[in-house]
Amino acid sequence: MPTQKTIAATGNTVVAEAMRQCAPDMMAAYPITPQTTIVEEFAGFVAKGRVHTEYITVESEHSAMSACVGASAAGARVMTATSSQGLALMWEELHIASGMRLPIVMANANRALSAPINIHCDHSDIMGARDTGWITLFAETAQEAYDNTIMAIRIAEHPDVLLPTMSCLDGFITTHSIDRVCIMDDETVTGFVGQYTPKNALLDIENPVTHGAFAGLGGPFFEFKKSQREAIERSRAVIKDVGAEFSELSGRPFGMVETWGMEDADVAIVVIGSTAGNVRHVARQMRESGIKAGVVKIRCFRPFPYAELAAALSGVKAVAVMDRAESFGAEGGPLFLEVRSALYDATERIPVIDYIYGLGGSDVRLELIETVLNDLSEIAAGAQAPTGLVYLGSR
């Protein structure tokens, strides 16, 4: 296994480091809390001459993604980062990037969307963008944010995939907390990500192509969308392979879902992002008091790991889904809808309860997670499951 260096750094620092090691040809940068330090740290690499990247400081996130679309179509390896309102401002371009099959890699510092304005963590930004056609990876820790950023390049640029990929980390909790992170050496990362060989590059002057053509008037719009679906379905195998290869190099396992205690669990919590650590901690404690708790963490939200999730949850008696985003008017939050759908074909009907928590960075205290596991334990023993979603920790 190649040597790795263990450092103490924030999530944003190691995302910037991963980006430097991936050596993008172009980066578009625009500041937004809590993403800003990613593009600031990268600006430092540019100033010191440590990257060859053409770094452009655009005047909005809309232009950031617009310029990334142009650069990626030109044939460059392209990266950027954003958060919250910035991601929302990019929304139109997110669809265009995936529709034009451009393997742009972006970090998103998960943050609540206005109004009211709030700069802290929740998943409303990324969940609002969940149908934009981007492959979406989530990190629990700074380490995972580092690893996901590097894997994202390989996944996005894979000839069977060619889809933009987002690497999400929780605003402030992961972006700004100092964590212990193993960093690979530059040569290892360079070798792992390889060179990007674009198809139909705009800058291939001898073979002119038209990008972004009009497919209306009875044109093949529908078929383009179908091929996009086929590509993201193909990405499942690629994500698995890239994850396996990365695990070999790093010694850190990667799967679309990560399970803890699921071998014999009676009750389980499904969670995304930084909260998973607290959930595991409480689950471990509750096991000492006799509650057989398990945890399923989602590392890849798009494509959604339906089969993996159904397999992981088979045999449990009650499931709690921790949603850090609302889907107003729906039966529950976005993750709940996916989890219930994943369990639809299960032979046993498992009660699934949705807990909306942590909106706008509101605290997720350990005792709150305890109440979830206690609820589940009672439901597993035959108590009536609550109807409708539960707000966890709201005043």
Candidate ranges 184-192, 207-215, 309-317, 377-385; the one touching other proteins (CB under 8 A): 207-215
Q: 58, 337, 346, 390: which one contacts other proteins (CB under 8 A)?
A: 58
Our finding on whether 28 is near other proteins (CB under 8 A) is yes
Of 16, 18, 38, 67, the one binding other proteins by CB under 8 A: 67
CB closer to other proteins, 51 vs 380: 51
List 69, 88, 270, 316, residue binding other proteins (CB under 8 A): 69
Rounded to the nearest whole angstrom, what is the least distance from the CB of residue 21 to other proteins in the complex?
A: 14
User: CB-wise, 204 or 264, nearer to other proteins?
Assistant: 204
Give yes or no for residue 395 binding other proteins (CB under 8 A): no
How far is the C-alpha of 85 from the C-alpha of 56, rounded, in Å?
Answer: 20
Neighbouring C-beta atoms of residue 74, cutoff 10 Å: 17
Select the span of 70-78, 112-120, 228-236, 296-304 touching other proteins (CB under 8 A): 70-78
Q: Which is nearer to other proteins, 62 or 287 (CB)?
A: 62
- Contact pick of 33, 72, 175, 188 for other proteins (by CB under 8 A): 72
Cβ–Cβ < 8 Å for 21, 189: yes
> Residue 214 interacts with other proteins (CB under 8 A)?
yes
Among 8, 209, 237, 381, binds other proteins (CB under 8 A): 209
Stretch that binds other proteins, among 59-67, 138-146, 343-351, 356-364 (CB under 8 A): 59-67
Rounded Cα–Cα distance for residues 355 and 230 (Å)? 33
**Nearest distance from C-beta of residue 58 to other proteins, angstroms:** 6
Task: Pick the stretch among 200-208, 225-233, 363-371, 378-386 that binds other proteins (CB under 8 A).
Answer: 200-208
Examine residue 267 and tell whether it contacts other proteins (CB under 8 A): no
Of the candidate residues 57, 227, 314, 341, the single one contacting other proteins (CB under 8 A): 57
The bridge status of strand 54-57 relative to strand 267-272 is unpaired
Candidates 32, 76, 156, 389: give the one binding other proteins (CB under 8 A). 76
Instruction: Sheet containing 165-170: give its strands across.
Output: 54-57, 26-29, 78-82, 105-110, 165-170, 135-138, 300-302
CB 321 within 8 A of CB 119: no
Beta strand 165-170 pairing with 105-110: parallel
Q: Which is nearer to other proteins, 24 or 305 (CB)?
A: 24
Q: CA 206, 211, 214, 219 torsion: positive or negative?
A: positive
Smallest CA-to-CA distance from 325 within 87, 135, 11 is with 87
Overall residue count recorded for the chain in this entry: 395
Beta strands in 218-266 (DSSP E): 257-260
Indicate which single residue of 202, 249, 310, 337 sits in contact with other proteins (rule: CB under 8 A): 202
User: Does the protein bind other proteins through residue 190 (CB under 8 A)?
Assistant: no
For residue 359, give Cα distances in angstroms to 262, 286, 378. 27, 25, 26
Report how far residue 287's alpha carbon sits from residue 265's, in angstroms, rounded to the nearest whole number: 10
Which listed residue (56, 182, 249, 346) binds other proteins by CB under 8 A? 56
Residue 87 binds other proteins (CB under 8 A): no
Q: What DSSP string describes 290-318?
A: T--EEEEEESEEES--HHHHHHHHTT-SE
Strand pairing class (352-357; 165-170): unpaired
For binding to other proteins (CB under 8 A), which residues are involved? Answer: 23-26, 28, 52-54, 56-60, 62-63, 66-76, 78, 92-93, 96, 202-205, 208-217, 219-220
